[in-house]
Amino acid sequence: MQERARVLLEALPYIQRFHGKILVIKLGGDLVENRELRDSICQDVVLLNYVGMKPVLVHGGGSEITQEMRKAGKKPKFVGGLRVTDEETMEILYKSLVGKINKELVLGISKHGGRAMGISGIDGGLIQAKKLKRGRADLGLVGEVERIDPAIIHYLISTDYIPVITPLGVDAKGRSLNLNADIVAAELAASMRAEKLILLTNVPGVLRKPKDERSLISHLSVKQAKKLIKSGTITEGMIPKVEACIKAVQGGVIRTHIIDGTAPHALLLELLTESGIGTMIERGS
């Protein structure tokens, strides 16, 4: 009994510190497609909401989209880590992200007593985007964020809803564009002046030595993070995540975190305990 009381008392100052604060949480596709992990994350999000925090979820779904493309006889093609998206791929993407994954997260939050509202970046003028140009390569309907109007998100959290956002945007021609979920989460966090951006991944965080979890770097300033990218210490799929954190911090977010979402109740461990987990990136001196 004393141990349970100690855990609750350890959480108290963090509940007080983050009460009423906006937390933008990005869920990687591998996490939302795993039923047990998704359920655990939804439970954490509902608890955070009940103790007065304002969680906003952004989700990916790359693996699901790839599976659906193959079922339709389409071979996925990537350029610089970005999925080439034609009209048919966009239909598959919309069906997988909006029609399936987003709804599963909304239902998961509802299951644990929360109120969630699923929307995409094309709803309510949330995300204005423009077609992304990458050298001579034509990526099709792939975009980059041009402007975010978070009015609809502020309205939802003010009425105690938990927004669940699919990373799509709309351009000046009225076309849907496929957007990188990490960047959407970072831009949204900055536009809302969020207290934190938390990227839930399937890795422990930034590692000084690849594949050696003991080399986890628990804290980085923006300057240090940029140096590690330049030196090649941060590589491959971790680069866009760290760059998203840098973008968020430079946009006014207080702290950003890259954590292992496969750990049970990772969000609670990161937010409500002294030690935390994963890698924190902040402005620094």
CA distance 24 to 156: 14
- What six digits make up the tokens of 206? 């930034």
Under 8 Å between Cβ of 230 and 246:
no
Q: Which helix (H) or strand (E) holds 44?
A: helix 35-50
Torsion sign (Cα): 200, 273, 256, 53: positive
Q: Which of 28, 29, 61, 140 is catalytic?
A: 29
Q: Residues 220, 245, 214, CA angle at the centre, nearest 5°?
A: 45
Q: Which of 108, 118, 205, 241 is catalytic?
A: 241
- What six digits make up the tokens of 265? 């109740």
Domains of the chain: 2-282 (3.40.1160.10)
pLDDT at residue number 210: 78
CA distance 248 to 195: 10
* pLDDT at residue 236 greater than cutoff 80: no
* pLDDT at residue 235 greater than cutoff 90: no
Choose the weakest-confidence range: 13-22, 118-127, 207-216: 207-216
Decide if 196 is catalytic: no
CA distance 60 to 56: 14
CA distance 32 to 177: 21
Choose the weakest-confidence range: 38-42, 54-58, 105-109, 274-278: 274-278
Task: Please report, as a single letter, which amino acid is at residue 11.
Answer: A
Q: Which of 143, 182, 205, 278 is catalytic?
A: 182
Q: Closest by alpha carbon to 9, among 216, 279, 272, 234? A: 272
| pTM confidence score | 0.93
pLDDT in tens, 245-266: 999 999 999 999 999 988 888 8
Indicate the pLDDT class of residue 1, thresholds 50, 70 and 90. low
Residue 21: left (phi > 0), alpha (psi -120 to 50), or beta? Answer: beta
Which residues on adjacent β-strands are paired with residue 282? 221, 255
pLDDT in tens, 199-209: 999 888 998 88
The residue that leads in pLDDT, 202 or 21, is 21
Decide if 241 is catalytic: yes
Decide if 29 is catalytic: yes
- What is the mean predicted confidence (pLDDT) over 79-90? 86
- Give the N- to C-terminal CA distance of the chain in Å, as an integer: 42
Q: Closest by alpha carbon to 276, among 190, 205, 188? A: 205
Q: Which alpha helices (H) appear in 134-180, and where do they start and end?
A: 151-158
pLDDT averaged over every residue in the chain: 90
Q: Which of 62, 108, 140, 143 is catalytic?
A: 62
- What is the mean predicted confidence (pLDDT) over 279-285? 84
Q: Residues 174, 124, 141, CA angle at the centre, nearest 5°?
A: 35
pLDDT in tens, 206-220: 988 877 788 889 899
